Structure 1
Amino acid sequence: MSTTSRGETTRERILAAASTVIREQGLAHTTTKEIARLAECSEATLYKYFTGKEELFLAVLRIRLAPFIGLMIRLPDQAGTGSVPDRLTGLGHEMLRVYGDSGQLAMALFAEPVLLDRQRDLFLRTGAGPQHANDQLAEYLRRERELGRIAATADPVALANLFLGACFQRAFLVAFLGPAGERLLDHDADRFVAELVSAIGVRNGGAAAH
């Protein structure tokens, strides 16, 4: 299937093709030849933009995660606006999407120890890393607690870990079980998110249940 679209640059076509090939074949079986074929360019052209499939993989991962990172950075400043349940419901669905999509790509790193070390080194040098999602959600919940919109006794860090950990586990189970994943689980994503939001103790008005 062609990845070409109007206004798309060669670099963008290569990244789109890399994303498709890595997702369908796995990082270990991905080749620059196949990526170039799908991007409708030569391997020589591909190497003008990227040093190889490893650099392509990291670039794809950064692009996939960029919207999510932006969302989490803005989250604490949204405390006091809208309702807490609505905010967490939207976040829950976004987390399932992110963990189901980019999470599978990220886990491919564990099959490539050298690439994993490079990514860990990048996190150490830049202060980045997936743990900051928990930090940002905890900060949002802390601010909502200060505003009296969740219980004064709520532990923001524990609630953030519970919320994101549950989303990650569900996304992992769906990915691991394959096409039958959603059917084999007890309930669909909407009910899962609704019950998760309820479990951390917020009700429709935004204040926590006591």
Structure 2
Amino acid sequence: MRAKSETRRQAILEAASDVFQEMGFERATMAAICERLGYSKATLYNYFSSKEELFSAVAFGATEIEFQATLSALNTDVEDMTKALEDFGRGLLTLLYAPDVQAVRRMIVAEAGRSELGKQCYKLGPVRSEAALAAFLQQAMKSGKLRQADARIASLHLRALLESELLDRFLFQTLDQVSAKEIRSMVQRAVAMFMAAYGPA
């Protein structure tokens, strides 16, 4: 019974992903997703209580493995801080600036002021990433690998540096696909600046 329920949930996520991509979040409806599936609204609402909840599941379910892999670079036992931060940075930018993830992020930004979607996605993405990164930096500060500072602010500075060469182009939709070589160079520059500010004396 549980396997059948999970199969049905996965079918809903796949159909919803198609509908959101074709129609955008605002024009997509639960009715359209039901029609695509051949399910009743009662069945759909049994799994997801709102369109916002369903979109969040679609957006983050597909990238959760990559998200966790990115966070795994934040190993508190690491000796080389520069390498650890570069590994994290490459993973983060590769994830955030993949074409399909860019499309989802734009939908979230466009809808954020009209519903609870922005708050939900903020908690699932940036808040989780910031907490993990701040904890890692705090540990590095305690062990003398970074200078003492507010770890949360440092995590925000690092994130801003990592995205500094891409964010405006992303927001104004002038960003083409970013190559692995470009990401590597951007991350090296960002981490060098971060270490210049936060590296041990």
TM over 0.5: yes
* Counterpart-to-counterpart distance in 2, 1:26 and 1:117: 15
Cα gap change, 1:175/1:93 in structure 2, threshold over 3 Å: closer, same or farther? Answer: farther
3-state DSSP of counterpart to 2:144: coil
TM-fit CA distance, 1:108: 4.2
**Relative contact order higher in (CA < 8 Å, ≥ 6 apart):** 1
Structure 1: which amino acid aligns with 2:144? G
After TM superposition, the structure 1 = structure 2 runs for residues 43-62 of structure 1, keeping only pairs within 5 Å, are: 43-44=40-41, 46-62=44-60
Q: Which of 134, 137, 155 is the aligned partner of 1:160?
A: 155
Q: Aligned-pair distance for 1:118?
A: 7.4
Offset at residue 9 of structure 1 (A): 1.4
- The whole-number CA distance in structure 1 between the counterparts of 2:14 and 2:89 is 26
The match for 2:3 is none
TM-score by length of 2: 0.67
User: Is the Cα contact below 8 Å between 2:93 and 2:163 reproduced in 1?
Assistant: yes
Q: Aligned partners of 2:76 and 2:118: how far apart in 1?
A: 36
| Count of residue pairs brought into register by the alignment | 188
Q: What percent identity do the matched residue pairs reach?
A: 23
Aligned mates of 1:175, 1:13 — CA distance in 2: 32
Give the CA deviation at 1:80.
Answer: 2.3
Q: In structure 2, do the counterparts of structure 1 residues 51 and 21 end up closer, same or farther at CA, with 3 Å as the change threshold?
A: same
Whole-angstrom CA distance in 2 between matches of 1:88 and 1:160:
11
Q: How big is each residue's C-alpha offset from its partner over 1:153-207, in whole Å with a ceiling of 9 and x where there is no partner?
A: 5653333111112345525633632453649xxx9222111111111117xxxx9
- Structure 1 pair 182–94 and aligned structure 2 pair: CA distance change class (3 A): closer
TM-superposed CA distance for 1:56, in Å, is: 1.3
Tell whether 2:76 aligns with 1:79.
yes
**Which residues of structure 2 form unaligned runs of 5+?**
1-5
Answer yes or no: is the 8 Å Cα contact 2:48–2:54 preserved in 1: yes
**C-alpha separation between the residues in 1 aligned to 2:70 and 2:91?**
11
Given candidates 172, 187, 193, the residue that maps to 1:193 is 187
Deviations 1:18-41 (A, max 9, x none): 234324432102133543465x44
Q: How far apart, CA to CA, are the structure 2 residues paired with 1:106 and 1:197?
A: 28
**More displaced stretch, 18-27 vs 172-181:** 172-181
1:122-178 Cα shifts (integer Å, max 9, x gaps):
x6xxxx77334323312211211222323x356533331111123455256336324
Matches within 5 A, 1:108-127: 108-113=110-115, 115-116=116-117, 119=120
RMSD of Structure 2 on Structure 1 (CA): 4.0
